[in-house]
Structure 1
């Protein structure tokens, strides 16, 4: 889901939660938390005699957060991505491999969805009042939409060896997939540190693996939005080795003339989505993939989104508005992973 990310990561704050209350080397859950990417992160992991000290784990996590910020921040002018965005059209610049990898992945999502996903949406987000340089929320004119749309287009960005090139004056925003990427990076680092049981959440994207000290699994709740703006728990999922993304249009929107305008912009027409899909949850071994595909499916809507999920074997849980309530539907892959999760 697109967000205002990268407003400056601070130092890790460490909160130790000891469940056993016994010896220092007994299994217990440790918690790392703090601000990052304009939001927050929370990490819970099982500490035991074979895992590093808590401070060392905190340093390892902060190192990854700092690297992502240096490379991909759209808020600090000295980041690799910000310098690329400031460059004129027909510029090529050397880029760190993670940036190139995310651009390549984002462009692949764009290609296979016929443009329903796009990393160059900033002008349209600003125009509708949802971007970092927006000037208030109001419905723009058709001429304004056309002008902003002319400043977008994933086809205008390409990779040439170790360089990122722009063939027009476009700007990249990796916010739609950077958090999922960060979760996967931390997960990979935990494997190197012999941390085998954990839940990692960064700005809402999360993954979990292993079991808690009492043998219970890590669980997450899927929310169902309610008509009065409140939320209720729709489903409880036991997650082990999967990344999870939930993308929705019910938290960030404005109304004008009795019409509701979502923060989720369809890149193909430059306007907010108009269908009845309120949220979609994607479960995948890769949190990066779940992050990107979640946004893509939300743009496609319930019918085309479900067809896309079936064609690409994506585990997806859809929540649609239905009059004054909501109905749900799941893909075949979601039912395979969570057999109790049939259509409701």
Structure 2
């Protein structure tokens, strides 16, 4: 996918989670090509470039135009970096366009970034008041406000329940639609936070009642789980033998998808009762991945950056064809 011009740069601070742990496990060849599928504010990319030789190369993607703008200076200063405005589900297309068949490592740092949350006008946070946008790529797609302006009670309930595990999903959805039918649709973050606070009767200690609703809407608006599923489906075709896959997740749904994908490539699937009774032996299973590690941030990192507390990093290595066979 061709790079899209971006003009406005972001200056908000971002603390990269599991910075050294991720890059330590990603790099196996300092002269290789690596894919940072989620550039963000470039923390992992900068560290990766510092580990690579002059022959090494990094292709970095991000769907957020502001993230791309923030990385322009780095890309101009280091010819080893190719920065592309694209969702990570399109990484195969991007590599095709760059005539790259395979890479030595792929890194996904999932979820929303600190600048996206902290910049009030992006609409990701209930702390402050702004248009209810929530799009990571502000150049396309429907906003959260547009979704709420059209969705039924059942649709909103499903999103809040499935993506936010919100116990009060139905009362919140009902209140949103009732307000819309009165001619007062929710269009701003403060309005949504106030409505949720009224609809949620019990509150979790230390958590704003709007937390799960905002999370669920963000995941839905950006099709985050579908994006991840599409990206993981391309990994095996693009990861070179001996190359590493490193994925950092911040949400249980994402981590479950990553865990299941890695396990499906590392272990033979369990046979059903009917399959076990069949007289024909099943085809032999040749693993494509070797599971290497599962890590969480340590107390020091969580103390310095509380947003790191939910992070889980999983690492796997592509088995050479000869070894797999």
Task: Report the TM-score when normalising by structure 1.
Answer: 0.27
Higher relative contact order (CA 8 A, sep 6+): 2
Q: Which has the higher helix share?
A: 2
Q: Which has the higher strand share?
A: 1
